[in-house]
Structure 1
Amino acid sequence: MGSGGDFEDIVLNDLKPYYHVPGAIHSEGITFVKETSTLLWVDIFKGQVHKVEDIEHPESSHSFFAVTRTNYGKNSSIEYPPNPDDLKESVGCIFPIWSESFEDEIKQVLFGSKFGVGRLDFATGEWEYLILYSECPDLSTDRAYKLRSNDGNVSPDGKYIYVGLMSDFPFELEPIGCLLRIDLLAQEIELVWNCLLIPNAIHWDESDEKTMYVTDSLNFTIWKCPGGDLLKREELIDVKNSNNQSFESPEPDGSAIWFSKDGNHSGYLFVTVWSTCKVQMFDLVHGKLLKEFILPKQTPRVSCCCFVGKDLFVTTANAKVSDPARINSDKNGGCIYRIPNALDRDVPLESTKRQPLY
Structure 2
Amino acid sequence: MIEKVKVGENNILNQQYRGRLTEGITYNPSNNTILWVDIIKGEVHRLWLGTEDKHEMLKFEDAKESIGAIGLTSNDNVIIICGKYGVAEGNFIDKTIKYFLRYNHDDKQQRRLRSNDGAIDPWGHLWVGVMTDFDTSAAEGQVSAEGRLYRINCHDLTIETMVDGTFISNGLSFTGDGKALYWTDSLTHTIWQYDYSYITNTLSNKRPFVEVSKVFGVPGGVAPSATKPEPDGLALTRDNEVFSAMFHTGKVLRFDSRGQCTHEYELPAARITSVTVGGKNSDVLFVTTGHPALERPEATIDPTDKSGDLGGFIFALSLPEPINVLNKSIWGRKV
Q: TM-score, normalised by structure 1?
A: 0.81
Cross-structure match for 1:198: 168
Give the letter aligned to residue 46 of structure 1. K
What secondary structure, in the 3-state scheme, does the structure 2 residue paired with 1:19 have? coil
What do residues 125-155 of structure 1 show as CA deviations (whole Å, max 9, x unaligned)? 2221111112xxxx54422431111100001
Note if contact 1:20-1:334 (Cα within 8 Å) is conserved in structure 2: no
Note if contact 2:225-2:249 (Cα within 8 Å) is conserved in structure 1: no
Determine if the alignment matches structure 1 residue 239 to structure 2 residue 205: no
Separation in structure 1 between the aligned mates of residue 161 and residue 130 of structure 2, nearest angstrom: 10
Cross-structure match for 1:162: 127
Cross-structure match for 1:66: 59
Separation in structure 2 between the aligned mates of residue 252 and residue 42 of structure 1, nearest angstrom: 18
Cross-structure match for 2:43: 48
Cross-structure match for 1:217: 186
What do residues 287-307 of structure 1 show as CA deviations (whole Å, max 9, x unaligned)? 1111111112xx111111111
Separation in structure 1 between the aligned mates of residue 115 and residue 186 of structure 2, nearest angstrom: 14
Determine if the alignment matches structure 1 residue 18 to structure 2 residue 17: no
Note if contact 2:22-2:38 (Cα within 8 Å) is conserved in structure 1: yes
For structure 1, which segment, 13-22 or 192-201, has the greater mean C-alpha deviation from structure 2 after superposition? 13-22
Separation in structure 1 between the aligned mates of residue 101 and residue 255 of structure 2, nearest angstrom: 35
Cross-structure match for 2:311: 333
Separation in structure 1 between the aligned mates of residue 96 and residue 233 of structure 2, nearest angstrom: 27
- Please list, as runs of the form range in 1=range in 2, the aligned pairs for 1:128-147 lying within 5 A after superposition: 128-134=98-104, 139-147=105-113
Cross-structure match for 1:354: 329
TM superposition shift of 1:321: 1.4
**Cα distance change, pair 345–196 in 1 and its aligned pair in 2 (3 A):** same
What secondary structure, in the 3-state scheme, does the structure 2 residue paired with 1:120 have? strand
TM superposition shift of 1:9: 1.8
Give the letter aligned to residue 223 of structure 1. W
Separation in structure 2 between the aligned mates of residue 14 and residue 40 of structure 1, nearest angstrom: 20
TM superposition shift of 1:11: 2.7
Cross-structure match for 1:93: 69
Give the letter aligned to residue 166 of structure 1. M
Cross-structure match for 2:227: 248
What do residues 172-207 of structure 1 show as CA deviations (whole Å, max 9, x unaligned)? 22111110110132120011111111000111122x
Determine if the alignment matches structure 1 residue 185 to structure 2 residue 178: no
Separation in structure 2 between the aligned mates of residue 68 and residue 14 of structure 1, nearest angstrom: 32
What secondary structure, in the 3-state scheme, does the structure 1 residue paired with 2:237 have? strand
Instruction: Report how many residues are paired.
Output: 310
Determine if the alignment matches structure 1 residue 289 to structure 2 residue 282: no
Separation in structure 2 between the aligned mates of residue 318 and residue 249 of structure 1, nearest angstrom: 17
What do residues 31-62 of structure 1 show as CA deviations (whole Å, max 9, x unaligned)? 01111111111111110110112x1222x111
**Cα distance change, pair 52–28 in 1 and its aligned pair in 2 (3 A):** same
What secondary structure, in the 3-state scheme, does the structure 2 residue paired with 1:226 have? strand
Determine if the alignment matches structure 1 residue 305 to structure 2 residue 271: no
TM superposition shift of 1:239: 1.1
Give the letter aligned to residue 156 of structure 2. A
- Aligned-pair identity in percent equals 28
TM superposition shift of 1:222: 0.5
Q: 2:27 aligns with which of 21, 24, 32?
A: 32
Could you tell me which runs of 5 or more consecutive residues in structure 1 were left unpaired when the two chains were aligned: 1-5, 70-86, 100-105, 260-265
What do residues 157-176 of structure 1 show as CA deviations (whole Å, max 9, x unaligned)? 11x10001111111022111
Separation in structure 1 between the aligned mates of residue 42 and residue 244 of structure 2, nearest angstrom: 24
What do residues 262-309 of structure 1 show as CA deviations (whole Å, max 9, x unaligned)? xxxx3200001011110100112x21111111112xx11111111111
Separation in structure 2 between the aligned mates of residue 127 and residue 93 of structure 1, nearest angstrom: 14
Cross-structure match for 1:322: 295
Note if contact 2:129-2:149 (Cα within 8 Å) is conserved in structure 1: yes
Note if contact 1:320-1:329 (Cα within 8 Å) is conserved in structure 2: no
Q: TM-score, normalised by structure 2?
A: 0.87
Separation in structure 1 between the aligned mates of residue 151 and residue 86 of structure 2, nearest angstrom: 12
- Please list, as runs of the form range in 1=range in 2, the aligned pairs for 1:112-127 lying within 5 A after superposition: 112-127=82-97
TM superposition shift of 1:325: 3.6
Determine if the alignment matches structure 1 residue 268 to structure 2 residue 241: yes
**Cα distance change, pair 14–20 in 1 and its aligned pair in 2 (3 A):** closer
Note if contact 2:237-2:326 (Cα within 8 Å) is conserved in structure 1: no
TM superposition shift of 1:24: 1.3
What do residues 97-145 of structure 1 show as CA deviations (whole Å, max 9, x unaligned)? 234xxxxxx32110100100000122222221111112xxxx5442243
**Cα distance change, pair 14–42 in 1 and its aligned pair in 2 (3 A):** closer
